[in-house]
Homo-oligomer: A and B are copies of this chain.
Amino acid sequence: MSEIVKPSILPGFMELLPKDQIQFNRIKEVIRQTYEEFGFLPLDTPLLEKSEVLLAKGQGETEKQVYRFEKGSADISMRFDLTVPLARYVAQHYSELNFPFRRYHIAKVYRGERNQRGRYREFYQCDIDTIGENSLDIINDAEIPAVIYNLFSRLDIGDFTIRINNRKVLKGFFESLGIEDSQSVLRIVDKVEKIGVENVVKEITELGISNEAANSIMDFISVKGTNSEKIQQLKDLGIQNEIFTEGLGEIEQVFEYLKAFQVPEKNTNFDLTIARGLDYYTGTVYETMLNAHPEIGSICSGGRYDDLAGFYTKQKLPGVGISIGLTRLFFQLKDAGIIKDEENTLSDVLIIPFDGFVNDAISLATELRKSGVKVFLYTEKAKLGKKMKYADGLSIPYTIMVGEDEVKNQKFMFKDMKSGNQEELSIEDIVSKFNK
């Protein structure tokens, strides 16, 4: 045999041991199911794209991070998000899709970022987007938080708040103050949680905006009360600006629809401080916070945009969507102790044959499987101690030993691995234990 190469993976990449992988997949599966139950259709685009297509829109900082290479005469790039491939897909298959087009996409994306803790060069994104043809009703902006609410309730990772804002409300208000460069102000306002009120005021005035106006902005974004109280207070300001009025009307509708979606008031917050840095968003924007873990930051973000695919088609395609960065979130939840080591729930029971009773163990396993019990069958000849160590290592909740007495009496010693309790059960008893 040739020389041995030390097995290792690239820096910035990660892989999990089976127990963690089971937990990771469980979360991914809840996300998938929730997305599907709300009618989002699955999409699975090629991971490699033509560079000229994928990078049609200059990607700024991101572009440097793209894994790009040549093979033969092809200039190839790996996707760095799921939004650009969606834009390409919708433009390319436009005539074959039904609009509004709702799709989910759960897949890995690639960014050759500087290697640092909490940053991965390969990570899962879990996206949904609803794309309209020319227009898209505001109801879709309310459906997104309904999906978020259902998803994180099911994941059972603690209380959470979906922060909702509308960039038109901010933009219109800034305009009413005579501020033209509302994008720059939005970008500064978005940092208020990170850098504090004073620094925000300072940065705003550095744009050449008066202290008075800067303070008005801070008063505006700090409005207090329930969601509807905040909306009422903004109405009472009597601001005469079309964009402001439009945005306020949209946010009012979103919160009205959210009641019909039965999303509890306590899980939502009309929060004027969030703006989402990207210029991409044009209306409703979302962030989602775990109440007990603000340090994690937003675990699910997104918003409304005017035009998905302007680089690929003249057809106007407005949309609204969110993204979950699952790989990072998983490690954050682990670090915060929110997801703990669990039993291996992929298998219900481990069957261990005593030597010489392999055929009987297979028969038992097969009978149980026919009744829907998920059986892991131990297959090796080994000492009892080794077999029990294996059972412990796998963390399968129950174990059945199969030997002479068991086969003769058709009664099996059924052991709860956590409590250590044992009971003698027939095949029917075992099946009914799992099917209840």
* A residues adjacent to B (C-beta < 8 A): 1-2, 4-11, 13-18, 21-22, 24-25, 36-39, 41-50, 52-53, 56-57, 67, 69-72, 74, 76, 87-89, 91-93, 96-98, 100, 102-103, 108, 110, 112, 122, 130, 132, 135-137, 139-140, 142-143, 146, 150, 256-257, 260-262, 309-314, 344, 346-347, 358-360, 362-363, 366, 369-370, 374-377, 379-381, 390, 393-394
Contacts and interface: CB of A to CB of B under 8 A. Distances in A.
Contacts of A97: 17-18
Contacts of A344: 41
A43 B308 CA distance: 34
Contacts of A38: 375-377
24 contacts: A1-B311, A2-B57, A7-B313, A10-B49, A10-B50, A11-B74, A16-B44, A18-B41, A21-B41, A21-B42, A25-B44, A38-B376, A39-B374, A41-B346, A100-B379, A102-B376, A135-B380, A136-B379, A137-B381, A139-B358, A140-B379, A257-B358, A257-B362, A260-B362
Q: What is the count of identical protomers in the complex?
A: 2
Contacts of A375: 37-39
A251 B88 CA distance: 52
Nearest to A381: B137
Contacts of A311: 1-2, 4-5
A137 B39 contact: no
A391 to B, nearest CB: 9
Contacts of A96: 17
Given A5-B312, A76-B10, A137-B380, A46 B122 contact: yes
A50 B93 CA distance: 36
B346 A46 contact: no
Given A9-B46, A42-B22, A56-B5, A260 B312 contact: no
Given A18-B103, A347-B39, A312 B4 contact: yes
A36 B373 CA distance: 11
Contact of A39 (B14, B53, B260, B377): B377
A122 B48 contact: yes
Contacts of A260: 359-360, 362-363, 366
B7 A21 contact: no
Contacts of A43: 15, 18, 21
Shortest beta-carbon contacts, A-B, top 8? A39-B376, A69-B69, A260-B362, A7-B92, A98-B393, A5-B56, A18-B41, A13-B46
Given A143-B379, A374-B37, A42 B25 contact: yes
